[in-house]
Amino acid sequence: MDIPSSEFKPLTPEEAAAYEWQLNVPDFGHEGQRRLKAASVLVSRAGGAGGTVAQYLAVAGVGKIVLAHGGNLRPDDLNRQILMAHDGIGKPRVDCAVRRLRELNPRIEIEAVNENVSESNIAALVGKADLIADCAPLFSERLLMNRESVRQRKPMVECAMFELESHLTTFVPHQTPCLTCLYPVEPPAWRRKFPVFGAVAGMIGALAAMEAIKVLAGFGEPLLGRLLTCDLRSMTFGTFKIHVNTTCAVCGEKTV
Amino acid sequence: MKITIHYHAQSRLAAGRALEVIDIVESITLKQLICRVADKHGQPLRAMLLSDVSGPNPSLLLFVDEEQVRSDSNRPLSDGAEVIIFSPIAGG
């Protein structure tokens, strides 16, 4: 966010005390914290990865989190959806998630949307946020968020997982590739239900939260034009350069 | 020449292995290699690697010696090339 730091509200003494440990991070400090306080993030959805993203954004003091996740909690969600609890089974997932986030940090604003992103709500949802955290389990939702991220020129942190593997990158419209540059068509073999451990979701969600914090606060080196790949089966981590597709239907030259 | 293929995510499950070394006599492009391993393994890997129309699935994320390469690349592969196949993942 290219806004002068004088535009951001100061921290209250109580906030400064609450965030003291991270205020001492070099290059972050009070200015970074004020930037987070002024920032808003759309998290879709609040599952294994998304719930972890939301959790760490909340405790870091991001001013507003818009949480979009439809449907009711099921027993088989609980191996990974860390914001949920057994007493929430049968109730809206987003209500469970918001309750936990408010317990973690009552200073921030949380908007609960009991819907998944769709063609009818995507423009409004992205319009409420400075950054998108894409943690959706379907490519149809991911590609929709990507299109709107490019249209509204909002950065999108992209995290994904399967089995013991995960991917993470950060898209900045017209600076980096976008999701459609990587996946020009909806991959037909992908299914909503996939094998995964909660620990894999939590790991990539925590890394995604850190990416969002860096982009919002303007420090560090986000994964721009780089894809982080993690294989927890062999504990192999790598980063690969990824390139803009000049013929991309979403961000390609003809669409700028 | 020898080409090493690293399979990831769904393609690893479909191939039943994480790594495969292919011995090839003639020159081969990435596109031809993808088609060849799809034919060699058959289903379900074939459906993952190839599109319904013809040729490699455009949504495969492919790297040759750590450089991203489009699935329809006609660039010849060199002896000792390391090809990484990331089938798309979206779990969240």
* ipTM (interface pTM): 0.94
The token duo for A3 is 């806004």
Q: Which of A47, A184, A189 sits opposite B92 (nearest CB)?
A: A47
Sign of CA pseudo-dihedral A27, A29, A34, A40: positive
User: Residue holding tokens 């089966």?
Assistant: A233
* Interchain CB distance below 8 Å, B92 and A137: yes
Q: What is the pLDDT of residue B54?
A: 72
- Amino acid making up residue B63: F
Pick from A48, A167, A243: CB nearest B89 = A167
Over the range A47-57, which residues count as b (16 or more CB within 10 Å of their CB) and which as e? Answer: bbbbbbbbbbb
Give me the count of residues in chain A.
256
Q: Specify the pTM.
A: 0.95
CA B2 to chain centre: 14
CB contact under 8 A, A162 and B91: yes
Q: Is A128 helix (H, G, I), strand (E, B) or coil?
A: coil
Does A49 contact B91 at a Cβ distance shorter than 8 Å?
Answer: yes
B68·A183 Cβ contact <8 A: no
Q: Nearest-CA distance from A249 to chain B in Å?
A: 13
pLDDT at B51: 87
CA distances from B24 to A19, A229, B27, B55, B80 (A): 59, 29, 8, 20, 11
Query: Tens of pLDDT along chain A (256 residues)?
Result: 565 666 799 999 999 999 999 999 999 999 999 999 999 999 999 999 999 999 999 999 999 999 999 999 999 999 999 999 999 999 999 999 999 999 999 999 999 999 999 999 999 999 999 999 999 999 999 999 999 999 999 999 999 999 999 999 999 999 999 999 999 999 888 887 899 999 999 999 999 999 999 999 999 999 999 999 999 999 999 999 999 999 999 999 755 4
Mutate to test the interface with B, among A163, A166, A180, A244 (most CBs of B within 10 A): A163
Q: What is the DSSP letter of A10?
A: P
Q: CA A144 to CA A134: how far, in whole Å?
A: 10
pLDDT of residue A256: 45
Return d(Cα A153, Cα A165) in angstroms, integer.
Answer: 29
Low-confidence ranges of chain B (pLDDT < 70): 53
